Structure 1
Amino acid sequence: MKVTYKMIDKQLRLRGRLYNLLITKSSEAKYIEFMHTVKKQTENRKGKTIKGLQLREEWITRKDGSKLRICIYTAHNPKKEIPGVLWLHGGGYAQGIPQLFANTYKRLIDAKDCVIIAPDYRLSIEAPYPAALEDSYAALLWMKNHAKELGIREDQHIVGGESAGGGLAAALSLYARDTKEVNIAFQIPLYPMMDDRMTSESARENNAPIWNSTTNRWAWKLYLGELFEKDVLVYAAAARATDYRNLPPTITFVGDIEPFRDETIQYVSNLKEAGVPVEFELYKGCYHGFDIISPHAEISKKATSFFIESFKYAVDHYFVEQN
């Protein structure tokens, strides 16, 4: 899908162009080098929080003996028996740390008292699939098993994320359904990265700002490693799923000029056909991550309002029996 400058929402154009000048790389090797550089830079952000939130850290031991860092965000005077939200950060599976998305946590906590559990999952530049999924699932089980001490409800575990984090949330919902160890009340995979095949119209030859077909292909190659361009499991690429029954109610949105448009629309359609409640919006003239890149644009405010209002509704209406 070829994207022209005029197709982009007017308030998003400048930020999109400037951002492209900063991150555009001419080769796959330079993209990987850039991901490693970003990782080093974000290391300095660990331990920082945002005004109005409390942050503490826990460490989970993986099967190999290494440690997984978990960031726990709450209000300064958190209530008890409130929802627990496992939030998985974006970054193409290759970059990012939980602290970079603290503004989202603040919006969620301000909207409905909740506890945010944000794992610092392994990135693809360090370990390909299934490392990130394993870390995400470990954090979900930890959230369930520590619900009482975290002050969260046992019947309202929520998963969400943006971009790659949204793809992980969708994959995690499939994995949790199939393993039957923990039930998810609802999920929030925002503009999720979940189809490695890249065969849809929006994913082919997409040249939109921020994220395009080229960077998407490089990111999937990093994430899947030796499995790239093979018939991978649905837990690696959730769009490959064929059975959508018994998945949790879903909240999502996507821009209409970004690579993930069609896979998100198809995902929403599949969920609805399986009888899963879905709240979905498609935003015209919006590239990938527009709400984060240009948060003050009117269309970004509209998308954020939709996301938060849908979250508030879901908290009031969707509960599950825990195993």
Structure 2
Amino acid sequence: MRALICNEPGSLAVIDRPEPVPAPGEVLVRIRHVGICGTDFHIFGGKHPFLEYPRVMGHELSGTVESAPQGSALRKGDPVYIVPYLSCGQCQACRIGLTNACCNIKVLGVHADGGMAELLAVPEQNVIPTGDIPLRDAAMIEFLAIGAHGVKRGAITARDRVLVTGSGPIGMSAIIFAKARGAHVTVMDNRADRLQFARDRLGADAVLVADDSAEAEAARLTGGEFFDVVIDATGAAAPIERGFGFLAHGARYVLLSVVRQDIRFSDPEFHKREATLIASRNAQPDDFAEVVAQMRAGKVPTQALNTHRGALADGVHLFQDWSRPEAGVIKAILDL
């Protein structure tokens, strides 16, 4: 079968490799669509903190069942999406229901080879029927679930003024699900095109340019009180540290981003606000279900989000093209 492999940072190749043989309890899925996300670009650029090369990337996956274990409710040809977090089910985190933060987690496309390949064998519990969701849209469920999980972690309600910093795909997913809860959402970024998209297509209530005037403008927008919830989706240490300055008293700060560097902040200012710092990692089954429900309700503009498409066979040069900011990629999808 064909697969797109990242041999080392900056080096991609389409290769032939043996078809996977499903282990007991695994479903063999014929991959149809693979969403490309910031994690994949970080792997390609050598910036991911949890990765060893070579690696077949791809964790935003949809496809059709090729074969299923005896007794499974899944049948050959069933349309499915894949939950890419392989948890052990036995560690302390799994025992308390935090399978998304399993101590021994393997994420497809990061810790184990992923779905930029024609076939993939996956544990049955990680294979979910799409129902009436189109397969191409289903390849976007995972990245949207990241935002849904962060919004849940922030306990966002309609009473909250929310600031989302960083309006890439993960930030956009946070905007979508914060708005679905009725929150007033402001978005901050240094890209005018992303801010316009957030306002025009995602329903953001206000936008902030991430320049030297942002704090003063945020104070003006909130009557000097700042934000009840700040969600960082920038993927960079400096804006994460800056985000502490936008917290209202009693605020929650949700970090969707993960970075290699240590994060520093003013302890007196943090304590003065009695603020809460919250990590948000991956997503849980109810977050995936929330995405599907909001898709069915028409609250997720899937066609607008999916800005670029191409074939797996062209992935080597497409990755080069799509990684450039001027390409204007929001969500790119490889088709098989």
TM-score under structure 2 normalisation?
0.25
Q: Over alpha carbons, which structure has the higher Rg?
A: 2
More helix by share: 1
The TM-score normalised by the length of structure 1 is 0.25
